[in-house]
Amino acid sequence: MKHEIVEYEERYFVGYAVKVKPGTEPNPIPELWNKFMSEGVLKLDEFDKEDNFIGLEMYPYDFMDTKEFYYHAMVQTKEKLNIDGFETIVLRKGKYILFSIEFDNIFNDIQACYKYIKENHVNINHAFDYEGYISGENYSQKGAKLHFAFLLES
């Protein structure tokens, strides 16, 4: 699979979160993004944000039992912000593996990333992963790319 290793400094993100149980309907993720892009980003206009949006999945310690995780629709900010009504996440400094995947095949491509990691014994942090939306890509058109990322453990 096409991927690259990128080293990041500590990064700050702010956005909205929802608890997700895969297979339940309706899927809350599209509505979360709609709310964040139509309301949340407008409220953040006064802050110094970057054009770097992510969909962050955070897996609690009991994920294997509950099969529930937290999904965050977020935008990167230049500093840590504490704003009422928003979640703030700090992604730690380190090396990340970024897979280039297609938005319109996101489910299958994510499964292929996990398969690659397992087969190649890539040592990742299992607490979270994220989809990094690439500036300039049009996600309403077929073939748009994004990055699916994991923090590498040393």
What's CA 92's distance to the chain center, in Å?
Answer: 14
User: Tens of pLDDT along 125-145?
Assistant: 999 999 999 989 999 999 999
Q: How many domains does the chain have?
A: 1
Rounded Cα distance, 25 and 128, in Å: 23
> What CATH number is given to the structural domain containing 104?
3.20.80.10
Query: What pLDDT score was predicted for residue 89?
Result: 96
Q: Which of the four pLDDT bands, split at 50, 70 and 90, describes residue 43?
A: confident
pTM of the entire predicted model:
0.92
R_g (Cα) of the chain, nearest Å: 15
Domain of residue 17 covers: 3-151
The runs of H, that is alpha helices, within the chain are 28-35, 41-43, 63-66, 106-119
Pairing of strands 49-58, 11-20: unpaired
Q: Is the peptide bond before 60 cis (omega within 30 degrees of 0)?
A: no
Arithmetic mean of pLDDT, 13-27: 92
